Amino acid sequence: MSNLTLTTLEGVPGREIVEHYGLVQGSTIRAKHVGKDILAGFKNIVGGELKGYTELLQESRKESIERMVMQAEQLGANAVVNIRFATSSIAPGAAELFAYGTAVRVK
């Protein structure tokens, strides 16, 4: 993980924004795993957390943040502010996780 500061705020607390680089984004599309899906089918009888899916979600979230951070680094930013996540289902069995924010330089 790089040393960029990521926040959901308008800025970075205690720092001052000196330059804006605009929007940066990262996204991943993930599909369900067949083995996990069978287990999930069983879980649908008794309900509760689907641990396999939670892990999948966490992995793809990390991946999309990394892609966003990579873009920000290329622009020369040292922080990404106002980060938001969005999800959408592309097709049955595939879902997109999308992270976006504003790349800035703070001091």
Partner 1 sequence: MELLVPLILIGVGFFVGRHFEAKHYASIRDREKKTLHVPMMNFGAKQDLPYAHDAQLFVGSVVVANDYFKTISAGLRNLVGGRVVVYESLVDRGRREALLRMKEEAIEWGASQIVNVRFETSSIGGKSRDQGLSAVEIMAYGTAIR
Binding site for partner 1 (CB under 8 A): 5-14, 32, 37, 40-41, 43-50, 53-54, 57-58, 61, 65, 83-89, 92-93, 95
15 — phi, psi (to 5°)? Answer: -125, 165
Residue 4 CB, shortest distance to partner 1, in Å, is 10
In SS3 terms, 15-41 reads as CCEEEEEEEEEEEEEEECCHHHHHHHH
Judged by CB, which is closer to partner 1: 21, or 96? 96
Residue 41 CB, shortest distance to partner 1, in Å, is 6
Chain-centroid distance, C-alpha 89? 15
Judged by CB, which is closer to partner 1: 8, or 74? 8
Nearest CA among 20, 24, 18 for reference residue 106 = 18
Residue 22 CB, shortest distance to partner 1, in Å, is 18
